[in-house]
Amino acid sequence: MVNVKLEQDYRLTALKQPDLNALIQVQPHGVLLVLNEADLTVVQVSQNTREAFGLPVDEVLGKTLDELLDDYQVDQFRSGLHGENLDVMNPTKIWVRRRGDDYGVYDAVFHRNGAGFLILELEPALNNDNIPFLSFYHLARTSIGQLEAGSASLADFCRIIVHEVRQVTGFDRVMLYKFDDDGHGEVLAEEKLEDMESYLGLHFPESDVPAPARKMFLSNWIRVIPNASAEPVDLVPAVNPVTQQPTDLVMSILRQPYHCHIEYLHHMNVEASLTISLMKDQKLWGLIACHHKTPKYVPYELRKACEFLGRVIFSEISTLEEEADQSYQLHLAAVQTALIDQMAQEDYFIDGLVRRDPNLLDLVGAQGAAICFSGQWTTLGRTPPEEELNYLAQWLGKSVSEEIYVTNALPLEYSEAQRFKDVASGLIAIPISKRSYVLWFRPEVIQTVNWGGNPNEAYTLVGEAENQWLCPRKSFELWKETVSLRSLPWQGVEVKAALELRKAIVNIVLRQAEELALLATDLERSNAELKKFAYVASHDLQEPLNQVANFVQLLEMRYDAKLDEDGKEFIGFAVEGVSLMQTLIDDVLTYSKVDIQGIEWQLTNVQDSLDQALGNLRGRIAETGAVITVDPLPTIVADGTQLMQLFQNLIGNAIKFRKAEETPHIHIGVQRQEEQWLFSVADNGIGFEPQFAERIFVIFQRLHTRDEYAGSGMGLAICKKIIECHRGRIWVEATPDQGATFYFTIPVEGRDRSHGNGRKAKNHLFSRG
């Protein structure tokens, strides 16, 4: 039950009143009594007792109901008060003798006030007969029957409700008003006199029915004002003499509306109103609002009948919405199940989200999606540029700590989003880890909202100094507002689907992390075995090869005179084979030693590494007359020995694959890019077909026979491994007979590299150019 504090907050914060009487006043069409439930003694009463009992207030206070009413009626009350639910006895017809044979007939309505007190409200009964319940049952069934006859929509249900309520009550205007998520309301259906202003389709600001008022509607589902111009009467005494506190009248039928509410009705040119709450899932979904130009009293039975009618038909609305939600929810559940299956089937879980059908967009009805994982972005549909995505992820990391972030007005919360509002005014973001996110986007949808009056001028401050209060607007004329920087809102089922997917992704990432940990263990074991092989290759295999070479050469020396030409040729083949085998073993050893764990991360002058490589190649350079030009080279964080090996292999290949009739010309270039150095080694050699650009980096792969060009086919594979260990990339562009240019990149800073051995990673944060 809403307490007095709520009403005080309502008055003080939302609808400030010119005086305090509104809390202790009642409407004059009925009489209100506050009773001590133990003995039914009157402790407070409205000041208009003379009209009901023919007695002044002081002759009513302190009396029991036995002294005011006949024994039979009071016995009925006592019998009914034994139950917990007082609705079963409301209303009870009572007859009150005023004077002589003058009787008044009233509808008596009880409700408990807490702390041992009862509120008894007496409203004049217009007739002595209860309104037949079956009449309203058949009315409700008839209304529902109309809807079941065709494909009923939400608009159809709302229209039927307002029509039937107006038929029953005779109000000049009946509206059905729905609250949206931000507290504003919209008139979904209306039936009225032709000469009354129409509010159909108009929006009304949250301040028209502020949050405290909506809480009251949750407690008391019916509010009635028979005469907005009637003078209220005081409750005497003003506070409960037992508790010394104002009496809580939130559940009271007769409670005097706030002054601001009365003014609001007058500005709408109406004198009477009836409001019925429409509830869904214990929340206020909307209201049925009835207005009349002149004073109009609605009996209790009729009000309850309207409430019953609203509940019955509104239950069909709830069913309609729930069926639509359930159908969409089942669809999203099917999409979610498919995405989880697809992720589980792919080696890289992101492929299961973006490369198959259904995909990530289908889960929440988005137009764009982006996944940030391990520092890499994968996008789908319409998304902001990657640079903007990086900034957005940084903002989310600082501003959002929940499992999910949802908004349909991102530019209003993150101002930088105005730059890409056309693709991402709406956002759902779920964090996978500290720096990894899945994002869904919806574009801006510019809408025109029709308001009943300017929502920015819903109230004005009147009065002076301490006597100021809020006065509602006097104009309800159509006022149009263009709403921008917003997308279509996300539905609750979509948000829930995103959360469920987050759980699945986190589970898959954890599982793959475990698998990677096992794989890392296996790789360490394999590396250890490879190192053992390297040792065996460098010692155990080399020794027998040397023996073969030595004995073959000894055969050649001792038996040269006895060998014919074929024998000498065969011995030559054997020597060449042993030499090639030794070269292959040396290259395999070199390849196996290129390991990120063994890199000496330090400031390295690239020119020094190049000079060492050129020194190793000086014989071949002198033999061919090769001309080598070099751009000014920077100092970077790298392994100098491996850089030397890299340049030696690339320059050596450029000399080897030269044109027979031309002098080799080789140029080493470098460019500083945003986060990396781009090096190039260009030559004027024989080149090759572009289709082989990937193949030449594969171990033991060759484009020419050994008769044409000597070599093991390991050189470029070693280059590729060196660059990958430096977290860079290597590629080649070539054309037959026009030479080739090899490109490779090395990050500017060492922060992206594996730290491996802390000692070897020293100075990894510095680079110079």
Residue 283 phi, psi dihedral angles, 5° rounding: -125, 155
Cα torsion 100, 101, 104, 109 to 10°: value is 80
**C-alpha to C-alpha distance for 177 and 278, rounded to whole angstroms:** 9
**C-alpha to C-alpha distance for 9 and 19, rounded to whole angstroms:** 14
In this prediction, residue 133 has a pLDDT band, given cuts at 50, 70 and 90, of low
Q: Report pLDDT for 450.
A: 57
In this prediction, residue 10 has a pLDDT band, given cuts at 50, 70 and 90, of very low
Q: Is the pLDDT of residue 427 over 90?
A: yes
In this prediction, residue 766 has a pLDDT band, given cuts at 50, 70 and 90, of very low
Q: What is the mean pLDDT of the segment spanning 130-145?
A: 59
Q: Report pLDDT for 721.
A: 84
In this prediction, residue 718 has a pLDDT band, given cuts at 50, 70 and 90, of confident
Q: What is the pLDDT of residues 573-607, one digit of tens each?
A: 777 667 666 666 666 666 666 665 556 778 889 99
Q: Is the pLDDT of residue 760 over 60?
A: no
HSE, side-chain direction, 13 A CA sphere, residue 381: 20
- 641 vs 2, which has greater pLDDT? 641
In this prediction, residue 548 has a pLDDT band, given cuts at 50, 70 and 90, of confident
Which of 430, 162, 132 is closest to 290 using CA atoms?
162
Q: What is the mean pLDDT of the segment spanning 93-107?
A: 79
Q: Is the pLDDT of residue 736 over 70?
A: yes
Q: What is the pLDDT of residues 168-192, one digit of tens each?
A: 889 999 999 888 877 788 888 999 9
Q: Report pLDDT for 410.
A: 92
Q: Where are the beta strands (DSSP E) in 633-707?
A: 635-638, 665-672, 676-683
CB neighbour list of residue 659: distance below 8 Å, 6 or more residues apart: 684, 685, 686, 737
Q: Where do we find the tokens 């020597």?
A: 575
Q: Is the pLDDT of residue 398 over 90?
A: no
Go through the chain and tell me how many residues it has: 769
Residue 730 phi, psi dihedral angles, 5° rounding: -130, 140
Q: Is the pLDDT of residue 768 over 50?
A: no
In whole numbers, what is the pLDDT of the chain averaged over residues?
78
Look up residue 187 and give its two tokens.
Answer: 């008139």
Q: What is the mean pLDDT of the segment spanning 754-760?
A: 36
Q: Is the pLDDT of residue 19 over 50?
A: no
Which of 171, 170, 230 is closest to 29 using CA atoms?
230
CB neighbour list of residue 668: distance below 8 Å, 6 or more residues apart: 610, 628, 629, 630, 631, 633, 647, 651, 679, 680, 681
Angle at the Cα of 325 from the Cα atoms of 320 and 328, rounded to 5 degrees = 130
Q: Collapsing DSSP states into helix, strand and coil, what is residue 406?
A: strand
Q: What is the pLDDT of residues 448-462, one digit of tens each?
A: 555 555 555 555 555
Instruction: Output the pTM of the full model.
Output: 0.55
State the amino acid at position 174 in one-letter form.
V
Q: Report pLDDT for 173.
A: 94
Residue 454's beta-bridge partner residues?
A: none
Q: What is the pLDDT of residues 374-397, one digit of tens each?
A: 788 999 999 999 999 999 999 998
Q: Collapsing DSSP states into helix, strand and coil, what is residue 733?
A: strand
